[in-house]
Structure 1
Amino acid sequence: MKKRRLGNSDLYVTELGLGCMSIGTEEKSAQRIIEAALEEGINYFDTADLYDFGKNEKFVGQALKDVREQVIIATKVGNRWNQDRSGWAWDPSKAYIKEAVKNSLNRLGTDYIDLYQLHGGTIEDPIDETIEAFEELKAEGFIRYYGLSSIRPNVIREFVEKSSIVSVMMQYSILDRRPEEEALPMLQGHSISVVTRGPLAKGLLSDKLLEKASEKGYLDYNYEELRTILPMLKEKVARTRSFTEVPLQYNLANPVVASVIAGASSPEQIRSNAEAVRSQPLSDEEVAVIKELTKASIYKEHR
């Protein structure tokens, strides 16, 4: 599987990464999914301390321990579980980040994290203090690089201007083109990569199409619009390929995108996604058709 450089780092990530949140809470099943990803040549595994109270990190670390030097492990920090685990609170403080990284390293069973990401963020955060925490962890050798997981343009801009982030993870798909207006050009101009999540828009952009549609629609598409647009996309762009190929290749058509993170709850899903990423890239004409059929939305809230 092809690899792309993550920002200006020396990390080269596969065009498809595994979003580990979906691997479940049964260890053997989770291990089979991760092994299938390795068999498909995937080297990029994305988890978070928030997932399943840290159990997800344990599963990922255990499944990858024999190939640790060949893979890139990304995890996240900033959401702090309440003591009774009934919910979590946002904590981007330096003290918490420097405490949390040690717990993640312990659960992952590794001496270092390749990419440590702030799991959210608001413009009211003590951003300078947060950056200081990541820079210290980098200098101390606990992390190799750090990034941001956020869709907020104003927050992203602060980190672009003040920090040495190498990547931003954000939701991006044919049905969520909000990053195209502001975020993607800004990041490309600073040689910072984008790692995309939600490329299949909760299954709407797969061969299941409207089976996955909710009566509420999706973002700023109502159900009737989806009923019109999805078949048109299939007819005009996916006549000779599986529909799953189209959204994954749409993300990869943007040069600032380093990797598309797709979840999988079975080895079969991994294989299907890997086949889609290895398929023929979209032509400029196909990208233009997709943009013509869909909405070029912007971030109205989430600033």
Structure 2
Amino acid sequence: MKTNRLGSSELYVSEIGLGCMSLGTDEGQAVKLIHEALDRGVNFLDTADLYDEGRNEELVGKAVQGRREDVIIATKVGNRRVPGQEGWVWDPSKDYIKSAVKDSLRRLGTDYIDLYQLHGGTLDNPIEETIEAFEELKREGWIRYYGISSIRPNVIREYVAKSHIVSVMSQYSILDRRPEETVLDLLEENGVSAIARGPVARGILSDRGQAKAEKGYLDYSKQELLDVLKRLEAFGRGRDLSQLAIRYALAPAAVACTIPGASSLEQLLHNLAAGDMEALSPQDIQSIQAISRANQYEAHR
């Protein structure tokens, strides 16, 4: 598995990581999937305190026991549970971040987090205070590096300008090309890496695409999606669609890693096979972009 440097950090991440959100809550199955991924060269695991109310972090922690030094663990913070209330509230305050990291460390069974990410955010948040929290956690040794998970260009610009983030996780695929508008160039120019989530667009860019396209996607109608899938299939000339989609998400220079999820061994192995596929040529990329749509951000520009 090829590795890429994550921004200006000392972390070298497998170009295909594992998005752990879809692992489920069965410990045996989740640990088995993570072990299989690690055995096949994946070293980047992405989780969050939000997933399954912390259970996901616990499963990741169990899976990496005895292998911690070989794994880059990324998790997220910012969504806080309020006792007695349903759901979560958004809290990017310094006090909360510095307390929440201790809970994540306990669930993960580790004494440090490789990449700690803010799980959202807007310009109305106390950005300087949030940055201060991450910087203190870094100095204190609880985290090695920090980044943000966001699809808001205005927020991304603020953190690139004011902080030492090494990465921005953002949704990016053939069907969601919004980061191409401004974000990817901004990150490349500033030495910050992109982590591309959702490369197969909820499974639409797969052999199950026709069924998954039923509700549309972003600014695509069902019929538009079916047309794109038909044209991509013709372009692929036998190449697997989901693997082609993963390679597309890895094509920009700013992208260090993509994190397709997997809920079964078959799905995991299928995704990882994209690592054996040749990188797309500039001509391939142009052809794919002619088939799909150059979506643009409608808000948060």
Shorter-chain TM range is over 0.9
Alignment of 1:141-220 (within 5 A): 141-214=141-214, 216-220=215-219
What's 1:47 paired with? 47
> Is structure 2 residue 294 aligned with structure 1 residue 296?
yes
> After superposition, what is the alpha-carbon deviation per residue over 1:94-144, rounded to whole angstroms, capped at 9, x for unaligned?
000000000101111101000000000001000000000000000000000
Is the 8 Å Cα contact of residues 2 and 275 (structure 2) preserved in structure 1? no
1:296 maps to amino acid: A
Q: Secondary structure at the match of 2:154?
A: helix
Whole-angstrom CA distance in 2 between matches of 1:213 and 1:291: 19
Judging changes above 3 Å, is the alpha-carbon distance between structure 1 residues 293 and 67 closer, same or farther for their aligned structure 2 residues? same
Whole-angstrom CA distance in 1 between matches of 2:218 and 2:238: 28
Whole-angstrom CA distance in 1 between matches of 2:131 and 2:227: 45
Is the 8 Å Cα contact of residues 169 and 194 (structure 1) preserved in structure 2? yes
| Corresponding pairs, count | 301
Q: Secondary structure at the match of 1:164?
A: coil
Is the 8 Å Cα contact of residues 204 and 213 (structure 1) preserved in structure 2? yes
Is the 8 Å Cα contact of residues 80 and 91 (structure 1) preserved in structure 2? yes
Whole-angstrom CA distance in 1 between matches of 2:260 and 2:227: 25
Alignment of 1:1-303 (within 5 A): 1-84=1-84, 86-214=86-214, 216-236=215-235, 238-303=236-301
Q: Secondary structure at the match of 1:60?
A: helix
- The Cα shift of 1:182 comes to 0.7
1:235 maps to amino acid: A
Gaps of 5+ in 2: none
Instruction: Give the TM-score taking structure 1 as reference length.
Output: 0.98
Q: Secondary structure at the match of 2:275?
A: helix
2:228 maps to amino acid: I
> After superposition, what is the alpha-carbon deviation per residue over 1:154-188, rounded to whole angstroms, capped at 9, x for unaligned?
00000000000000000000000000011110111
Gaps of 5+ in 1: none
Is the 8 Å Cα contact of residues 205 and 242 (structure 2) preserved in structure 1? yes
Is the 8 Å Cα contact of residues 138 and 144 (structure 2) preserved in structure 1? yes
Is the 8 Å Cα contact of residues 117 and 149 (structure 2) preserved in structure 1? yes
- The Cα shift of 1:209 comes to 2.0
Judging changes above 3 Å, is the alpha-carbon distance between structure 1 residues 52 and 84 closer, same or farther for their aligned structure 2 residues? farther
- The Cα shift of 1:277 comes to 2.4
CA RMSD of aligned residues (A): 0.9
Whole-angstrom CA distance in 2 between matches of 1:122 and 1:72: 27
2:180 maps to amino acid: E
> After superposition, what is the alpha-carbon deviation per residue over 1:14-46, rounded to whole angstroms, capped at 9, x for unaligned?
011111111101111111111111121100000
Whole-angstrom CA distance in 1 between matches of 2:18 and 2:149: 15
Is the 8 Å Cα contact of residues 76 and 117 (structure 1) preserved in structure 2? yes
Identical-pair percentage: 58
Is the 8 Å Cα contact of residues 37 and 267 (structure 1) preserved in structure 2? no
Instruction: Give the TM-score taking structure 2 as reference length.
Output: 0.98
Whole-angstrom CA distance in 2 between matches of 1:60 and 1:220: 35
